[in-house]
Every structure is written in C-alpha cells, then in structure tokens.
Amino acid sequence: MTGDGAFDTRRCHTAIVDRGGTAIIPIRKNGRLWKENCPAALAIVLGPMADIVSPRNDILRASKRFGRANWKHWSGYHARSRIEAKMHCLKSFGERITSRDPYRQTAEIHIRVALINRFNALGTAETERVA
C-alpha cells in the first residue's frame, strides 16, 4: 500500500500489517524510530531465531542513510507521484463530471484524456540528431 506522509501513523501501519500488506509510506521529515514493542512496528518475523523487523523503522533508516529521493526511487514510490501529477492535470479541466449518464461520463473522461495527450504532444520538444 502506498500513501503520502499523512498516512505515517501507528494506526495506519497497524491496519496495513493486520491485513497482511506492506506499507510504502515515506516517513515525515520529523519522524523518529518507533519502539520495537509497538504493534505497528512489529511486522515481520524472519528466520529460525524469530528476528523482528520493523519495515517503518527500516524505511526511516534507509531514508536517512541514502536520502529520501533514492529511497523513493528504490521503493517505486516515484510512480505514485507521476500518477498524482496526471490526476492533477485531469482535474484542471474541472473538478466534476457534468454528465449524469454513465456513457456520457465515459465520453467526457475520454475527451479530457485526449486533451491532456494533445497538450503533452504540443509541449514535447522534437529532437533531431545532427552529424
């Protein structure tokens, strides 16, 4: 499950762990390590010695050691931001769908997507190889 920093709470992490999921949530800038006895921190039991691994604390350590940008690229989090950017472009044509009929709603979304694609095509530079 991916989410932004607003989902970096014990309650959200506990709900994700209870459902057997893995959280890909960047830690807030002022985030600190959670104690290992916190239910949200206890997620995975590895090996015969039953080592407890806290994915949230591992994310925090990786972010501090390698940088947030590297962690986001390594975890695949950057794909989420691309999707959010496209949704922002889609919403720039209007927050709501004005049609009531489902077929017309579909057509309205297709028109918006076609406009976005056309604007992207117009804004893309054409490069030519020289020499």
Matching residue, tokens 């992490």: 13
Q: Does pLDDT of 43 surpass 60?
A: no
Q: Which domain holds residue 119?
A: 93-123
Do residue 97 and residue 48 come from a single domain? Answer: no
**Which token pair is 39?**
């239910």
For residue 18, how many C-alpha atoms fall within 13 Å in the half-sphere facing its CB? Answer: 8
Do residue 71 and residue 9 come from a single domain? Answer: yes
What would the pLDDT profile of 72-95 be if each residue is shown by its tens digit? 888 888 787 787 788 888 788 777
40 vs 87 pLDDT, higher one: 87
54 belongs to a structural domain: yes
83 belongs to a structural domain: no
11 belongs to a structural domain: yes
65 belongs to a structural domain: yes
Do residue 71 and residue 34 come from a single domain? Answer: yes
Do residue 72 and residue 37 come from a single domain? Answer: yes
Q: Where are the beta strands (DSSP E) in 1-131?
A: 44-46, 51-53
CA-CA-CA-CA torsion for 29, 32, 38, 62, nearest 10 degrees? 80
Do residue 52 and residue 18 come from a single domain? Answer: yes
- 115 phi and psi, to 5 degrees? -65, -45
